[in-house]
Amino acid sequence: MLVAKETAKQELIDLYEVLVLDYREAQESALAHGSQYAYRAYVRSFICLVEGFSYRLRQLTIEEYEDKKTIMSQSILDEIISQKDLASLRETKGFLKIKDGVSLVTSLQTYALLHGAIFAIEEQNGWDEFKYIIDIRHKLTHPKKASDLEISVDDLTCLDIAYEWWDRNVARLLLLVEYI
């Protein structure tokens, strides 16, 4: 069981590294080409990074919770993780509802709690930009008019701030649970 757990943790790290490389390559392309297509690919690469990592982390949380049930009493586990938070993770089959950030924050906090750590998402220096980029992602995914597909230089600045915010929070989480 320990080997499978370590493999699952390594898969989370490997996935994150690949998605960060994709993001950086999309960033370079956007800066080099300056086309709307490159800008849209840049935004999409960030969303893929967030959703991919969050999904894998959610699955890992559920797997580790199930493993801990065999060695800890249910009452102790219930004190660590609320059944509501765990149910929220299980009910989210596909992508996280990250517009308001609630599912995303729950996913990160629940994983930390399972490892005996308290994690609070940093809401300054990037949280508003993160939510703004989510709005842009929705427009790109479900455009209603041509202007929904336009990305401005200011939008790219918000994207850079959102990425830095995201990366800082992921690094803090991984340090809390001693991944890095």
pTM of the model: 0.81
Instruction: Give residue limits of the domains in the chain.
Output: 2-176
Helix or strand or coil: residue 176?
A: helix
Computed from CA positions of residues 9, 168, 109, 44, in that sequence, does the dihedral angle turn out positive or negative? negative
pLDDT tens sequence across 112-129: 877 778 888 887 889 899
How far is it, in rounded angstroms, from Cα 19 to Cα 157?
20
**AA identity, residue 162:** A
Per-residue confidence (pLDDT) for residue 119, from 0 to 100 = 83
**AA identity, residue 58:** R
Question: Residues with Cβ < 8 Å from 108, sequence gap 6 or more?
Answer: 54, 57, 119, 121, 169, 173
Per-residue confidence (pLDDT) for residue 1, from 0 to 100 = 47
